[in-house]
Amino acid sequence: MTSGPAIEAADLTRTFGAFVAVDHITFDVKPGEVFGFLGANGAGKTTAIRMLTGLLAPTGGTARVAGHDVYTESEAIKRDIGYMSQRFSLYEDLTVWENIRLYGGIYDLPPKEIRKRAEAMLARLGLEHARSQPVRLLPLGWRQKLALSVALVHRPRIVFLDEPTSGVDPVTRRQFWELIYETAAGGTTVLVTTHYMDEAEYCDRISIMVAGRIGAMGAPGALKKDFSVPSIDELFVRMARPTEARS
Protein backbone atom coordinates (compact mmCIF):
# COMPACT_ATOMS: atom_id res chain seq x y z
CA MET A 1 0.00 0.00 0.00
CA THR A 2 2.86 2.42 0.64
CA SER A 3 4.11 2.09 -2.93
CA GLY A 4 1.95 3.31 -5.80
CA PRO A 5 0.56 6.81 -6.27
CA ALA A 6 -0.75 8.82 -3.33
CA ILE A 7 -3.68 9.95 -5.45
CA GLU A 8 -4.86 8.37 -8.68
CA ALA A 9 -7.95 9.68 -10.43
CA ALA A 10 -9.30 8.49 -13.77
CA ASP A 11 -12.19 10.22 -15.51
CA LEU A 12 -13.38 11.44 -12.13
CA THR A 13 -16.67 13.25 -12.63
CA ARG A 14 -19.30 14.97 -10.54
CA THR A 15 -22.55 16.41 -11.82
CA PHE A 16 -25.18 18.40 -9.94
CA GLY A 17 -28.36 17.99 -12.00
CA ALA A 18 -27.45 19.20 -15.47
CA PHE A 19 -24.32 21.00 -14.25
CA VAL A 20 -21.02 19.19 -14.69
CA ALA A 21 -18.81 20.53 -11.89
CA VAL A 22 -15.93 18.11 -12.48
CA ASP A 23 -15.68 16.67 -15.97
CA HIS A 24 -13.60 13.50 -16.42
CA ILE A 25 -10.37 14.56 -14.72
CA THR A 26 -7.44 12.15 -14.81
CA PHE A 27 -4.26 12.64 -12.82
CA ASP A 28 -1.80 10.96 -10.43
CA VAL A 29 0.11 12.45 -7.53
CA LYS A 30 3.30 10.71 -6.41
CA PRO A 31 4.25 10.09 -2.76
CA GLY A 32 6.19 13.04 -1.35
CA GLU A 33 5.17 15.31 -4.20
CA VAL A 34 4.02 18.92 -3.72
CA PHE A 35 1.12 19.22 -6.14
CA GLY A 36 -0.50 22.61 -6.83
CA PHE A 37 -4.19 22.35 -7.60
CA LEU A 38 -5.11 25.59 -9.34
CA GLY A 39 -8.15 27.02 -11.04
CA ALA A 40 -10.35 30.09 -11.15
CA ASN A 41 -13.20 30.36 -8.67
CA GLY A 42 -15.97 28.08 -9.91
CA ALA A 43 -13.67 25.92 -12.07
CA GLY A 44 -14.41 22.82 -9.98
CA LYS A 45 -11.46 22.68 -7.57
CA THR A 46 -13.55 22.54 -4.41
CA THR A 47 -15.82 19.81 -5.76
CA ALA A 48 -12.78 17.76 -6.82
CA ILE A 49 -11.17 18.17 -3.41
CA ARG A 50 -14.38 17.17 -1.65
CA MET A 51 -14.40 13.95 -3.67
CA LEU A 52 -10.72 13.25 -2.98
CA THR A 53 -11.18 13.78 0.75
CA GLY A 54 -14.11 11.35 0.93
CA LEU A 55 -16.73 14.04 1.61
CA LEU A 56 -18.64 13.79 -1.66
CA ALA A 57 -19.32 10.73 -3.82
CA PRO A 58 -18.39 11.05 -7.48
CA THR A 59 -21.03 10.46 -10.15
CA GLY A 60 -18.52 8.88 -12.53
CA GLY A 61 -14.95 7.67 -12.97
CA THR A 62 -12.63 6.23 -10.35
CA ALA A 63 -10.21 7.54 -7.76
CA ARG A 64 -8.02 6.04 -5.08
CA VAL A 65 -6.56 8.19 -2.33
CA ALA A 66 -3.82 6.69 -0.16
CA GLY A 67 -4.79 3.40 -1.80
CA HIS A 68 -8.47 3.63 -0.76
CA ASP A 69 -11.45 3.76 -3.10
CA VAL A 70 -13.38 7.05 -2.92
CA TYR A 71 -16.73 5.27 -3.39
CA THR A 72 -16.43 2.51 -0.82
CA GLU A 73 -13.63 3.46 1.58
CA SER A 74 -14.23 7.11 2.41
CA GLU A 75 -13.78 6.50 6.14
CA ALA A 76 -10.36 4.93 5.54
CA ILE A 77 -9.44 7.92 3.38
CA LYS A 78 -10.34 10.36 6.15
CA ARG A 79 -7.99 8.51 8.52
CA ASP A 80 -5.07 8.66 6.10
CA ILE A 81 -5.32 12.31 5.09
CA GLY A 82 -4.93 15.65 6.81
CA TYR A 83 -6.79 18.82 5.87
CA MET A 84 -6.14 22.47 6.55
CA SER A 85 -7.81 25.57 5.21
CA GLN A 86 -7.44 29.25 5.83
CA ARG A 87 -11.12 29.55 6.68
CA PHE A 88 -11.40 26.71 9.13
CA SER A 89 -8.79 24.70 10.92
CA LEU A 90 -8.28 25.47 14.57
CA TYR A 91 -10.76 26.27 17.31
CA GLU A 92 -9.94 29.85 18.17
CA ASP A 93 -11.27 29.78 21.73
CA LEU A 94 -9.36 26.63 22.63
CA THR A 95 -5.73 26.89 23.68
CA VAL A 96 -2.86 25.69 21.52
CA TRP A 97 -2.55 22.57 23.65
CA GLU A 98 -6.29 21.86 23.61
CA ASN A 99 -6.38 22.07 19.82
CA ILE A 100 -3.60 19.52 19.46
CA ARG A 101 -5.27 17.23 22.01
CA LEU A 102 -8.62 17.56 20.24
CA TYR A 103 -7.23 16.60 16.84
CA GLY A 104 -5.13 13.81 18.31
CA GLY A 105 -8.30 12.50 19.97
CA ILE A 106 -10.33 12.71 16.77
CA TYR A 107 -7.75 10.45 15.13
CA ASP A 108 -7.82 8.00 18.07
CA LEU A 109 -4.25 8.55 19.20
CA PRO A 110 -3.64 7.30 22.76
CA PRO A 111 -3.29 10.17 25.32
CA LYS A 112 0.37 9.35 25.95
CA GLU A 113 1.14 9.53 22.26
CA ILE A 114 -0.76 12.81 21.89
CA ARG A 115 1.28 14.31 24.72
CA LYS A 116 4.52 13.15 23.12
CA ARG A 117 3.66 14.48 19.67
CA ALA A 118 2.30 17.75 21.09
CA GLU A 119 5.54 18.40 22.97
CA ALA A 120 7.60 17.65 19.88
CA MET A 121 5.38 19.90 17.77
CA LEU A 122 5.61 22.84 20.18
CA ALA A 123 9.38 22.48 20.39
CA ARG A 124 9.76 22.34 16.63
CA LEU A 125 7.56 25.41 16.11
CA GLY A 126 9.11 27.30 19.04
CA LEU A 127 5.64 27.66 20.56
CA GLU A 128 6.21 26.17 24.03
CA HIS A 129 5.56 29.53 25.65
CA ALA A 130 2.16 29.77 23.99
CA ARG A 131 0.76 26.37 24.90
CA SER A 132 -1.88 27.76 27.28
CA GLN A 133 -2.92 30.66 25.07
CA PRO A 134 -6.17 30.68 23.17
CA VAL A 135 -5.35 30.25 19.49
CA ARG A 136 -7.11 33.52 18.58
CA LEU A 137 -4.36 35.44 20.42
CA LEU A 138 -1.59 34.02 18.21
CA PRO A 139 -0.40 36.04 15.21
CA LEU A 140 -1.93 34.79 11.96
CA GLY A 141 1.36 33.35 10.71
CA TRP A 142 1.75 31.22 13.84
CA ARG A 143 -1.84 30.06 13.61
CA GLN A 144 -1.17 28.87 10.06
CA LYS A 145 1.98 26.97 11.03
CA LEU A 146 0.19 25.40 13.98
CA ALA A 147 -2.79 24.50 11.79
CA LEU A 148 -0.51 22.68 9.35
CA SER A 149 1.24 20.82 12.17
CA VAL A 150 -2.10 19.84 13.71
CA ALA A 151 -3.31 18.59 10.33
CA LEU A 152 -0.24 16.31 10.37
CA VAL A 153 -0.57 15.10 13.98
CA HIS A 154 -1.85 11.64 12.95
CA ARG A 155 0.94 11.32 10.34
CA PRO A 156 -1.30 11.16 7.29
CA ARG A 157 0.02 10.01 3.92
CA ILE A 158 -1.48 13.05 2.20
CA VAL A 159 -2.29 16.51 3.40
CA PHE A 160 -4.73 18.84 1.59
CA LEU A 161 -4.00 22.55 2.03
CA ASP A 162 -6.73 24.89 0.86
CA GLU A 163 -5.36 28.43 0.46
CA PRO A 164 -3.19 27.99 3.53
CA THR A 165 -1.24 31.25 3.33
CA SER A 166 -3.81 33.98 2.66
CA GLY A 167 -3.14 37.32 4.27
CA VAL A 168 0.33 36.88 5.79
CA ASP A 169 3.47 38.84 5.01
CA PRO A 170 5.92 37.53 2.40
CA VAL A 171 8.47 36.33 4.96
CA THR A 172 5.89 34.37 6.96
CA ARG A 173 4.47 32.95 3.74
CA ARG A 174 7.90 31.57 2.85
CA GLN A 175 8.40 30.13 6.32
CA PHE A 176 5.14 28.28 5.77
CA TRP A 177 6.39 26.97 2.44
CA GLU A 178 9.52 25.66 4.13
CA LEU A 179 7.24 23.67 6.42
CA ILE A 180 5.55 22.31 3.29
CA TYR A 181 8.91 21.29 1.80
CA GLU A 182 9.94 19.69 5.07
CA THR A 183 6.65 17.76 5.15
CA ALA A 184 7.11 16.56 1.58
CA ALA A 185 10.77 15.66 2.19
CA GLY A 186 9.50 13.44 5.02
CA GLY A 187 7.42 11.51 2.47
CA THR A 188 4.00 13.09 3.02
CA THR A 189 2.23 14.10 -0.18
CA VAL A 190 1.00 17.71 -0.28
CA LEU A 191 -1.89 18.92 -2.43
CA VAL A 192 -2.22 22.67 -2.18
CA THR A 193 -4.53 25.34 -3.62
CA THR A 194 -3.51 28.98 -3.76
CA HIS A 195 -4.37 32.32 -5.33
CA TYR A 196 -0.72 33.39 -5.16
CA MET A 197 0.60 32.50 -8.58
CA ASP A 198 4.22 32.69 -7.46
CA GLU A 199 3.42 29.89 -5.00
CA ALA A 200 2.32 27.79 -7.94
CA GLU A 201 5.95 27.93 -9.05
CA TYR A 202 7.03 26.43 -5.71
CA CYS A 203 5.20 23.18 -6.51
CA ASP A 204 6.77 20.10 -8.09
CA ARG A 205 3.82 19.90 -10.46
CA ILE A 206 0.60 21.83 -10.91
CA SER A 207 -2.72 21.36 -12.63
CA ILE A 208 -4.96 24.18 -13.78
CA MET A 209 -8.67 23.43 -13.84
CA VAL A 210 -10.84 25.22 -16.37
CA ALA A 211 -14.61 24.65 -16.45
CA GLY A 212 -14.42 21.27 -14.72
CA ARG A 213 -11.53 19.90 -16.77
CA ILE A 214 -7.78 19.88 -16.32
CA GLY A 215 -6.62 22.48 -18.85
CA ALA A 216 -2.90 22.07 -18.22
CA MET A 217 -0.74 19.87 -16.00
CA GLY A 218 2.98 19.49 -15.44
CA ALA A 219 6.07 20.91 -13.77
CA PRO A 220 5.87 24.73 -13.67
CA GLY A 221 9.08 25.16 -15.67
CA ALA A 222 8.00 22.71 -18.36
CA LEU A 223 4.54 24.30 -18.63
CA LYS A 224 6.04 27.74 -19.09
CA LYS A 225 8.24 26.38 -21.86
CA ASP A 226 5.42 24.43 -23.55
CA PHE A 227 3.04 27.37 -23.57
CA SER A 228 5.78 29.99 -24.16
CA VAL A 229 4.71 32.13 -21.20
CA PRO A 230 6.98 34.00 -18.76
CA SER A 231 5.04 33.00 -15.63
CA ILE A 232 2.37 30.68 -14.31
CA ASP A 233 0.25 33.78 -13.67
CA GLU A 234 0.28 34.45 -17.41
CA LEU A 235 -0.57 30.83 -18.19
CA PHE A 236 -3.40 30.86 -15.65
CA VAL A 237 -4.97 33.95 -17.18
CA ARG A 238 -4.53 32.60 -20.68
CA MET A 239 -6.20 29.30 -19.81
CA ALA A 240 -9.14 30.97 -18.12
CA ARG A 241 -9.57 33.67 -20.76
CA PRO A 242 -8.35 31.93 -23.91
CA THR A 243 -9.55 34.64 -26.29
CA GLU A 244 -7.60 37.42 -24.67
CA ALA A 245 -4.05 38.28 -25.61
CA ARG A 246 -1.57 38.92 -22.84
CA SER A 247 -1.75 42.38 -21.31
Partner 1 sequence: MTPDRDAVARGSNDAAAIVADGLEKKFEATVALAGVSFAVRRSELFGFIGPDGAGKTTLFRILATLMVPDRGRARVLGLDVVSDLWKLRTRVGYMPGRFSLYPDLSVAENLQFFAAVFGTTVEREYAQIAPIYSQLEPFRDRRAGALSGGMKQKLALCCALVHRPEVLFLDEPTTGVDAVSRREFWELLGRLKAAGLTIVVSTPYMDEANRCDRVALIQRGRLLALDTPDAIARGFDRPLFAVHAGNRYQSLLALRRRPHTHQVYPFGESLHYTDSRSDATPDQIQRELADYLRGEGFDAVNVALTDPTVEDTFMARMGDA
Contact positions vs partner 1 (CB under 8 A): 39-42, 139-140, 163, 166-172, 174, 177-178, 181-182, 184-185, 195-198, 201-202, 220-221, 224, 231, 233, 236-237, 240-241, 247
Q: For residue 71, what are the contacts with CB-CB under 8 A and spacing of at least 6?
A: 57, 58, 62
φ/ψ of 167, rounded to 5, equals: 85, -5
Supply the minimum distance, in Å, between the C-beta of residue 202 and partner 1: 6
Least Cβ distance, residue 110 to partner 1 (angstroms): 32
End-to-end CA distance of the chain: 47
The CB-of-148 to partner 1 minimum distance in angstroms stands at 15
Instruction: Compute the least distance from the CB of residue 76 to partner 1, in Å.
Output: 30
b/e 8-17 (16+ beta carbons within 10 angstroms → b): bbeebbbeee
**Which H or E run contains 15?**
strand 7-16
Q: Side by side, which strands form the sheet with 213-218?
A: 81-85, 158-162, 189-193, 34-39, 205-210, 213-218
Smallest separation, CB 192 to partner 1 (Å): 14
**CA 242 to CA 247: how far, in whole Å?**
13
